[in-house]
Amino acid sequence: NKENKEVLIEVADEGQGIEADILYKIMTPFFTTKRAGEGTGLGLAVSEKIVREHGGQITVISESGKGSVFQVVLPVDTEKRKIKVLIVDDDEGFRHSMKDVLESREAYAVDTAPNGVEACINIGKTLPDLLVVDIMMPDMDGVEVCRVIRERKDLSRIKVLVVTGHPSSPKIRTLKEMGFTHILLKPFKFDVFLKKIEEMMGRV
Ligand SMILES: Nc1ncnc2c1ncn2[C@@H]1O[C@H](COP(=O)(O)OP(=O)(O)OP(=O)(O)O)[C@@H](O)[C@H]1O
Ligand SMILES: [Mg+2]
């Protein structure tokens, strides 16, 4: 059903069917008509719970002696998942310009943070796909944020673009040695910034 964005899955059998007086309780946990040791009565209860948690429902149509039809209706998520980006820079104007540039493309959903501490909190909560991070910042600089990403296994798949206005800072070398090789020197043109990110995210 394209209009309501639902998908219907139907499973039918030509078995014994289900009597009307038990039909209403077949999804109840532990309800079974099988002999002890043959069934737990959990099959349908678990299925129903999984479907319900995904926003769908199961309905059963059954005729005793003829068979049963189980219908599963599930909502379809047609929105493509956006690439989650976290932009970290203490320069408010620059931070918002970078956000605007990225959000001009439908593919990106952008969060921002003004320093490393807030960045780490956001990273733990949202697990971004891409981190754009400035180096010099108060309250935990970019190098420290990158160190956290290196040290935690669950964060290792986050891609990192370092942006800095200090080309001669020894911190750049530290970052390179840690394996952070995507570095953009400020000031940069925003089309260069966008192209770099599209490349990093495999979109070109
Ligand atoms: N296709 C079917 N035809 C007839 N009766 C069914 C059908 N599916 C389920 N039932 C009835 O619903 C009851 C509960 O089903 P459910 O799948 O939850 O548990 P079970 O099959 O008894 O045990 P388990 O799934 O743990 O092996 C069954 O015991 C049976 O009486
Ligand atoms: Mg079963």
User: What residue spans define the domains of the chain?
Assistant: 6-75, 83-200
Give the whole-angstrom CA distance, residue 87 versus residue 161: 9
- Percent of all residues in the chain with a pLDDT value above 70, rounded to a whole number: 97
Ligand 1 lined by 121 (C-beta under 6 Å) = no
**Res. 1: pLDDT tops 80:** no
User: Token pair for residue 42?
Assistant: 């959990």
Ligand 1 lined by 57 (C-beta under 6 Å) = no
Query: DSSP letter at 127?
Result: -
Region 196-204 average pLDDT: 89
What is each CA distance from 69 to 6, 49, 60, 144, 200, in whole angstroms? 18, 18, 6, 58, 48
Ligand nearest to the CA of 15: 1
* Residue 165 confidence class, pLDDT cut points 50, 70, 90: very high
**Res. 204: pLDDT tops 90:** no
Q: Residue 145 in contact with residue 174, Cβ under 8 Å?
A: no
Residues 124-139: tens digit of each pLDDT? 999 999 999 999 999 9
Q: What is the CATH number of domain 6-75?
A: 3.30.565.10
**Res. 55: pLDDT tops 90:** no
**Do the two domains 6-75 and 83-200 of this chain adopt the same fold?**
no
Q: What angle, rounded to 10 degrees, do the helices at 92-103 and 190-200 form?
A: 60
- Which residue's CA is minimally distant from atom 19 of ligand 1? 41
**Domain range 83-200, CATH class:** alpha beta
**CA-wise closest residue to 180 among 130, 127, 137:** 130
Region 79-102 average pLDDT: 93
Region 30-51 average pLDDT: 95
